[in-house]
Amino acid sequence: MITHHPKFELIQLFVNGQLPASLSAAIAIHADMCPKCQQQIALLTEQMAEVSFEEDSLQADLEQSLTTDNDSTADYSTDLTDEETLESLSIDDMVDAITMSDELAQTTVAADKTIIYQNENYVLPKTLSSMTLGKKATIGKLSRTRIQLNENEVRTSLLQIAPGGGVPEHTHKGFELTLLLEGSFHDEKGEYVKGDFIMLDSSVQHHPISKDGCLCYTVANDALHFTQGINKLLNPIGGLIY
């Protein structure tokens, strides 16, 4: 059973679209396996929508709270009424342009992407299907493939541990997220299973071992740029991530 879930703050940023793709994908994959988080996401999305599209002070609060995070918007005003804002948009032209084409968006479901590590064949979550994978690197019982998301210091990978393998004891200066896609592993703190979303910050030192093998999706950053670790990450617009 899944016992490790993303923190509430992360889920909220996910719903708002304020997390980098690496962490957004992790939460999406976790939620696909976790009805509890799925429900929370649905509820938060509904609430965010309501807050965003209703026209009272709450709307203003929201905008103000978002604006205070982003200095660059200070130079143009957002306190117009709907009518005033509409005047600045040429509705008829826009509507005409949009409705000119009657084409419906084609929704194609991508074929399953699989990856093989040390004779083990894994089907990757659909969330990852458009992402570009780098070359495989294998050292002993550890195999790693970078996922090329171009997020600067934030590095995203697939990590496979063959049965009986483990990651040597380490600490991380920034944060390290491990999402178990298949199999299980354990460390000093306990056992982790498929779907577990394990977010560690710099204070944690650990040594995961997988008895029967596992495949993980991992996201880690470089401490140099994120001296406040996870807290810095949670500031959605502040850093290099966003």
Partner 1 sequence: MQTNLLSKVTSDKSRYMSDKINHPELCQWLDAVATQRNKQAFTNLFKFFAPKILRIAKTKFPNEAQANEVVQETMTNVWRKAHLFNSDKGAATTWVYTVMRNVTFDMLRKIQGNKEDNLSDDIWPMAESMSSEEESFNDHLENKQLLSVLEELPEAQQEVVKGFYFSEMSQEQLATHLNLPLGTIKSRLRLALAKLRAQLGENS
Considering only residues 89 through 108, tell me which ones interact with partner 1, judged by CB under 8 A. 89, 91, 94-95, 98-99, 101-105, 107-108
* Binding-site partner at residue 231 among partner 1, Zn ion, none, CB < 5 to 8 Å by type: none
Footprint (CB under 8 A) of partner 1, residues 52-91: 52-56, 58-59, 61-63, 65-70, 72-73, 76, 78, 80, 82-83, 85-86, 88-89, 91
The residue behind tokens 């939460």 is: 27
Q: What whole-number distance in Å separates Cα of residue 103 and Cα of residue 105?
A: 7
The residue type of 75 is D
CB of 8 to partner 1, least distance (A): 8
Which residues are within 8 A (CB) of 235 and not within 5 positions of it... i.e. 6 or more apart?
69
Q: Which stretch binds partner 1 (CB under 8 A): 5-13, 158-166, 188-196, 212-220?
A: 5-13
Nearer to Zn ion, 10 or 215 (CB): 10
CB of 12 to partner 1, least distance (A): 6
β-strands 197-200, 214-220 pairing: unpaired
Choose among 23, 46, 76, 52: nearest CA to 242: 23
Footprint (CB under 8 A) of partner 1, residues 110-129: 110, 126-129
* Binding-site partner at residue 93 among partner 1, Zn ion, none, CB < 5 to 8 Å by type: none
Q: What whole-number distance in Å separates Cα of residue 69 and Cα of residue 239?
A: 11
Q: What angle do CA 24, 17, 104 make, to 5 degrees?
A: 100
- Is 38 near partner 1 (CB under 8 A)? yes
CB of 16 to partner 1, least distance (A): 7
Choose among 139, 130, 164, 159: nearest CA to 220: 159
